[in-house]
């Protein structure tokens, strides 16, 4: 069974994340959306809310599982015996950043990173943009799945 994790903070999940997960399910038998916990980071949404947003969004997709973790992503992959990390790329800056992480992860382990380019219609969306729109009372509903809109 081919399994991959899709790590991130998902604060909140966006339509860009949704697109990568849906396409990842076509490539893998299981995609584990892995919410990283970083005690240094200030989140807009609680861990419970972020997890629920994702679970509600993919409630009808049995190949998607949601877990949380702390520490290095590659260590988490080893713990749950997952050989692939799935990542989305929006632009060249994402590629350079993600490439360095992928090389480091391969150096530390046998974990391979699989990159998917985001769809053109969602390539401009990031969680930080969504949070900024929310903070400024803008219409964020076109940027996130229904589960986040309901909150």
- What domains does the chain contain, in order, with CATH numbers? 3-149 (3.40.50.620)
What is the CB neighbour count within 10 angstroms for residue 96? 10
**Contact between residue 30 and residue 65 where contact means Cβ atoms under 8 Å apart:** yes
- Peptide bond preceding 12 in cis form (omega within 30 of 0): yes
In Å, what is the CA distance from 148 to each residue of 14, 21, 92, 128? Answer: 9, 16, 28, 14
**Is residue 17 annotated as part of the catalytic site, yes or no?**
yes
Q: Is-catalytic flag, 34?
A: no
pTM as predicted: 0.94
The mean pLDDT of the chain is 95
From the candidates 3, 34, 51, 127, which is the catalytic residue? 127
What CA–CA distances, in Å, run from 3 to 39, 41, 77, 136, 137? Answer: 27, 28, 10, 38, 38
Catalytic hit among 17, 50, 51, 87: 17
Catalytic residue among 39, 41, 42, 81: 41
Closest CA to 118 of 35, 29, 27, 14: 14
- Whose CA is closest to 17, among 111, 148, 144? 144
The catalytically annotated residue of 52, 65, 90, 131 is: 90
Give the model's confidence band at 151: pLDDT under 50 very low, under 70 low, under 90 confident, else very high: low
pLDDT at 137 over 70: yes
pLDDT confidence band for 150 (50 / 70 / 90): confident
Is 41 one of the catalytic residues? yes
If pLDDT is split at 50, 70 and 90, which confidence band does 19 have?
Answer: very high
Asked if 127 is an active-site residue, the reply is yes
Q: DSSP letter for 126, please.
A: -
């Amino acid at each position: 069974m081919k399994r991959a994790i899709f790590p991130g903070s998902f604060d909140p999940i966006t339509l860009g994340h949704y697109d990568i997960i849906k396409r990842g399910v076509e490539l893998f038998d299981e995609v584990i959306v892995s919410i990283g916990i970083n005690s240094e980071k200030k989140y807009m949404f609680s861990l419970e809310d972020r997890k629920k947003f994702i679970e509600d969004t993919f409630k009808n997709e049995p190949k998607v599982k949601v877990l949380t973790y702390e520490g290095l992503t590659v260590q988490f992959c080893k713990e749950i015996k997952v050989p692939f990390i799935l990542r989305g790329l929006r632009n060249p800056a994402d590629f350079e950043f993600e490439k360095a992480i992928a090389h480091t992860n391969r150096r530390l382990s046998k974990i391979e990173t699989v990159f998917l380019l985001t769809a053109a219609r969602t390539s401009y969306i990031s969680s930080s943009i969504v949070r900024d729109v929310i903070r400024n009372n803008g219409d964020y509903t076109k940027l996130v799945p229904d589960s986040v809109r309901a909150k």
